[in-house]
Amino acid sequence: MTTVTDRELVGEDISVHLSAQAVKGVADTNPEFFKVRRVGGLPKQTKGSTTSSTLSNSQNGKANIQTSSEQGAELSTEVFKQTKDLLVAANHSELDDNTITDVDIAVTATGFTVPGNTITAGDFIFVSGATDDDNNITYHVDSVVGDEITTTPSPSSTEAAGVSITVASKKYSNGLTPTYFLGQRRQLDKSKAGEIAYFNFTDGLIDALSLEIPEEELLTATTTMMWEVAEESRTLITGQTDAAEDDSEAVGAENQFKKFWVDGSPAECSLKSASLEIANGYQGSAAAGCKRKSLGAREFAVTGNFVAKNYIANSSYWEDQFLAGARVNLAFEIIWSDGNSMVIQVERAYIAEHEQPSETGFAPSTLNFNAEENPVTGTTIRVFTNF
- Please state whether beta strands 220-230 and 196-213 pair in parallel, antiparallel, or not at all (unpaired): antiparallel
Do 202 and 225 lie in one domain? The reply is yes
Do 141 and 233 lie in one domain? The reply is no
Do 16 and 144 lie in one domain? The reply is no
- pLDDT value for 4: 83
Do 150 and 205 lie in one domain? The reply is no
Residue 247: Cβ within 10 Å count: 8
Do 204 and 232 lie in one domain? The reply is yes
Handedness of CA 321, 327, 332, 333 (dihedral sign): negative
Give domain status of residue 381, yes or no: yes
Torsion angle in degrees (nearest 10) through CA of 173, 174, 179, 181 = 110
Q: Are 164 and 114 in contact (CB under 8 A)?
A: no
- pLDDT value for 13: 98
Q: Which of 32, 44, 36, 29 is nearest to 15 (CA)?
A: 36
pTM for this prediction: 0.96
Q: Which residues pair with 252 in a beta bridge?
A: 218
Domain of 148, CATH number, reads 2.40.30
- pLDDT value for 162: 98
- pLDDT value for 367: 98
- pLDDT value for 6: 85
Give domain status of residue 5, yes or no: no
User: Concatenated DSSP letters for 13-30?
Assistant: GEEEEEEE-SSTTSPPSS
- Element at 81 (helix H, strand E): none
Do 88 and 105 lie in one domain? The reply is no
Q: Which domain holds residue 348?
A: 11-44+70-94+175-385
**Tens of pLDDT along the chain (387 residues)?**
888 888 999 999 999 999 999 999 988 889 999 999 999 999 999 999 999 999 999 999 999 999 999 999 999 999 999 999 999 999 999 999 999 999 999 999 999 999 999 999 999 999 999 999 999 999 999 999 999 999 999 999 999 999 999 999 999 999 999 999 999 999 999 999 999 999 999 999 999 999 999 999 999 999 999 999 999 999 999 999 999 999 999 999 999 999 999 999 999 999 999 999 999 999 999 999 998 999 999 999 999 999 999 999 999 999 999 999 999 999 999 999 999 999 999 999 999 999 999 999 999 999 999 999 999 999 999 999 999
- pLDDT value for 27: 87
Give domain status of residue 52, yes or no: no
Q: Which of 169, 166, 168, 140 is nearest to 155 (CA)?
A: 140
Give domain status of residue 58, yes or no: no
367: Cβ–Cβ under 8 A, 6 or more apart, which residues? 305, 306, 307, 308, 318, 321, 322, 351, 353, 354, 355
Phi, psi of 360 (to 5 degrees): -60, 140
